[in-house]
Structure 1
């Protein structure tokens, strides 16, 4: 009998993370449905033939065996085991109130956490041993499957390609601080610029860059990053998990005032240093490339393009074994009530 898997999604990046899983599930005859939640998610990105629910009541009635979530929250009242499929590779961003790295915040909502490599698996397994109410499986990140399975091809370019990706946080964002630098480099260097902004980047910033658009610079809209990662020779960024994604392709990254610069990054603190750093990165310095390779081994050693299959296998093992061997999850009454209120669903709290 085919199984049913629900994708609970709140952000547009979920498309790229979950569609490789959907492809595998469909290929073996299983059923998939999406439950988009919140105003931040663009429902216009769905493709013909994808099952989409309008309300959580439909998802509950559908009774999936598992709920897969590239995010931090999931309602406990939807049937099925709850699987957190990470929404990004490990980042050094920390929660202000206690300094905890966001990649290691556990909220007592999931039964299974998917990790992408040793630098996340080790800590999550320690947390699982301490908590006792969830499991951990290292599978790699499904979003990256198309980069490794040969389904994407690099586009030809007239010159070296610089991919500039900036986060939106006023405290961290490079884009507002580097506009004059980028404008000068566009005029002086025969480089091709591809610029992509976080959806929350202020229009006052994005409009300035769009005004530079021409033969050497293009602002790329949308939430899909894979083709940009593949096409670029060097990345320019600030503090974002996409830095790790790019480095997995054995390419150098220049960062501007990164919160926790690592050996595989060429970090600069002043705008005037950006141009020389990019020129150096294009030469692929041996010491930097060795650090890039080590980072890839620790972050995402899976290069076979089959992470989606491993996620499904880990999920199915827990579906088949059940949750009886795990401790009950925390009740989280306030958090669950907030989710019920947001989803307009007010039945009794589940026992687990």
Structure 2
């Protein structure tokens, strides 16, 4: 039966998370609508996704709302489904970070065993949401034919090895300011081709510096091309950004600068002068590093079929059919948060 679904985002980095879900819904004959606010306002998903506003979202009465933010408007109808905007990279404590439960969602679609087990424990305690391990929609394109987009992005390398650089916007964790000179020197050498990007929230002056490196040995790309770049690159250079985990799912080596929680699958370093040696090691990974990459990838995202979006839809259907058990009422804190959301969005009309 055809139904209407709503995709919700508050930042541009949610677009590549929601697009595979939109495609899967459209393939099943459903109506797909998107409502973007705050940092995502003005962005759009490709047609036939219909971009709508606040009042249209309320009037739509969608069957479900898929959110790639850490919140969702509670006054819109439908099951509220959390898709996550990144992996757990331990930027913050569990109480403030990835495993914080705000009482807004009915279903958490987790990425892999490392995420599923903690959320199942939280669900057992709270009782007002369900948990299903589906894999992460954003990574579906990593394991599907992208119609040559990755090859096109890689083509200017002319056969050279390809390094991708990505950085978090969190100032105390960002490698972008400290590694700029070292990266610029590597780009100037020209023996490797560089794919450069920054988190959309990074300072404009930092964007200007990195964009200026573009030329015969490097290109700067936007957030919407992130998955294509991950497919195109051989090695990632980053910090504590969740892009590290996304890249590792491909079993490709990662070099990290002052990662907040370095692990065996990372080549972590703290001196910019060491960058050339770290890259050399990444391009010639030993057996121990390869084993660590495999183990971590299996823990965070074992799905390699490119169909996590379909599993998200199936889990939502199961929730709505009552197959995931009876949920308790949301806590009082969710009501208070719902009122805050109404105030922030300036909406006091009728809702769900």
The two structures have a TM-score, normalised by structure 2, of 0.93
Deviations along 1:79-126, whole A, 9 cap, x unmatched? 11110011112211105xxx6361111101100001010000000000
**Contact in 1 for aligned 2:318/2:324 (Cα 8 Å):** no
Aligned counterpart, 2:345: 343
CA contact (8 A) 2:166 2:198 kept: yes
- Provide structure 1 residue ranges, at least 5 long, that are not aligned to the other structure: none
Q: Which moved more, 1:332-341 or 1:284-293?
A: 332-341
- Mapping 1:147-166, distance limit 5 Å: 147-153=142-148, 154-155=150-151, 156=155, 157-158=157-158, 159-166=160-167
List 4+ stretches of structure 1 deviating above 3 A.
151-154, 347-350
The whole-number CA distance in structure 2 between the counterparts of 1:178 and 1:247 is 21
| Alignment match, 1:7 | 7
1:316 correspondence with 2:317: yes
Residues 50-129 of structure 1 mapped to structure 2, 5 A cutoff:
50-55=49-54, 57-95=55-93, 100=95, 102-129=97-124
1:187 aligns with 2:182: no
Aligned position for 1:205: 206
Structure 2: gaps (5+ residues): none
- How big is each residue's C-alpha offset from its partner over 1:138-180, in whole Å with a ceiling of 9 and x where there is no partner? 0001111111122354324321111000112210111100111
Matches within 5 A, 1:158-177: 158=158, 159-177=160-178
The number of residues matched between the two structures is 345
Deviation at 1:44, TM superposition (A): 4.0
Match of 2:18 in 1: 18
Change (3 A) 1:324 1:208: closer
Q: Aligned to 2:237, what secondary structure does the other structure show?
A: strand
| Residues in 1 aligned to 2:322 and 2:286: alpha-carbon distance in whole angstroms | 49
Measure, in 1, the Cα distance between the counterparts of 2:293 and 2:262: 13
Q: CA, structure 1 residues 104+152, in 2 after alignment: closer, same or farther (shift >3 Å)?
A: farther
Structure 2 Cα separation of the partners of residues 323 and 139 of structure 1:
14
Shift of 1:224: 2.7
- Write the mapping of 1:248-327 to structure 2, written as runs, cut at 5 A: 248-321=249-322, 325-327=326-328
User: In the alignment, does 2:231 pair up with 1:233?
Assistant: no
Partner of 1:242: 243
Post-superposition shift, 1:241?
A: 0.8
- Give yes or no for the alignment of 1:33 onto 2:71: no
Aligned partners of 2:257, 2:344: CA distance in 1, in Å?
38
Alignment deviations for residues 282-331 of structure 1 (CA, whole Å, 9 cap, x no partner): 11222111100001110100111111110000001111228981110112
- Alpha-carbon distance between aligned partners in 2 of 1:44 and 1:120, rounded to the nearest angstrom: 29
What is the TM-score of this pair, normalised by structure 1? 0.93
Retained in 1: the 8 A contact 2:111–2:300?
A: yes
* Contact 2:77–2:351 (8 Å) recurs in 1: no
CA distance in 2, matches of 1:208, 1:13: 21
DSSP-derived class of the 2:225 partner = coil
CA RMSD of superposed structures (Å): 1.8
Other structure's SS at 1:29 match: coil
1:46 aligns with 2:45: yes
